[in-house]
Every structure is written in structure tokens, then in C-alpha cells.
């Protein structure tokens, strides 16, 4: 397969692992099977633009980022992990998470 598919696959893997996301989690968020995502990451399957867009959306990155091979795996990794958790949560779970974060934030401010 051509070089661009290898870049796309490697970049998907880098974005996914930077967010501590499993293949199954990315598959669930994007609507694909985790093994299919793995085949794309290993450059065994080509991805269409529509598939690339769904995977990018699940990773919360712009599709062009996956093509360019540039993923910021440090600065925004924690934010992306939190967003991935929130995306998979119910309304009640999101409310509980927000309340927990608010309490933790207050506690951390007191420690400073």
C-alpha cells in the first residue's frame, strides 16, 4: 500500500494511545470494529475519507491531522482522554463527573 496509508495508520495509533484508548474503545466511538481499526493502524487496510473522518471525530482531531501525521500527544492528551470518557457517558454519569471535578478542583485550591 502507498506510503500515505502507513502515515495515517501510525498517526491514528499515536492519537489513540496518547489518549489511553483501546482499539475497542476507538471502534465503539467511531462505529467500527476494533479489529478493523487495528488493520488500518497496521497498514493492512486502506481507509476512505468517510472512515477517516469518523475516526478523527472519535479521536477529537481534525482529519487533516491524521493525514499529515502530526498529533500533539503531550499538551492536550489529558483533555482528549477526558472528552473520550465523557462521550461514552450517559447524561447522569456526565453530571456525576462534573460534580466530582468541581469538588476536586475546590479541594486542590485549598491545598495550594
Q: One digit per residue, pLDDT tens: the chain, 112 residues?
A: 458 898 899 999 988 998 889 999 999 999 999 999 999 999 999 999 999 999 999 998 889 888 887 555 545 666 777 777 887 889 999 899 989 988 988 888 888 7
Question: What pLDDT is recorded for position 78?
Answer: 67
The domain limits of the chain are: 3-111
Question: What pLDDT is recorded for position 42?
Answer: 95
CATH superfamily of 3-111: lambda repressor-like DNA-binding domains (1.10.260.40)
Contact 54, 32 (CB under 8 A): yes
R_g of the chain, CA atoms, integer Å? 16
Amino acid at each position: 500500500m502507498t506510503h500515505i496509508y502507513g502515515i495515517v495508520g501510525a498517526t491514528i495509533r499515536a492519537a489513540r494511545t496518547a489518549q489511553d484508548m483501546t482499539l475497542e474503545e476507538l471502534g465503539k466511538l467511531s462505529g467500527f470494529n476494533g479489529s478493523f481499526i487495528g488493520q488500518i493502524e497496521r497498514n493492512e487496510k486502506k481507509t476512505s475519507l468517510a472512515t477517516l473522518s469518523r475516526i478523527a471525530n472519535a479521536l477529537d482531531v481534525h482529519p487533516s491531522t491524521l493525514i499529515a501525521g502530526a498529533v500533539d500527544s503531550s499538551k492536550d492528551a489529558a483533555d482528549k482522554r477526558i472528552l473520550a470518557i465523557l462521550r461514552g457517558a450517559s447524561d447522569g454519569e456526565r453530571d456525576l463527573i462534573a460534580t466530582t471535578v468541581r469538588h476536586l478542583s475546590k479541594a486542590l485550591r485549598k491545598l495550594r
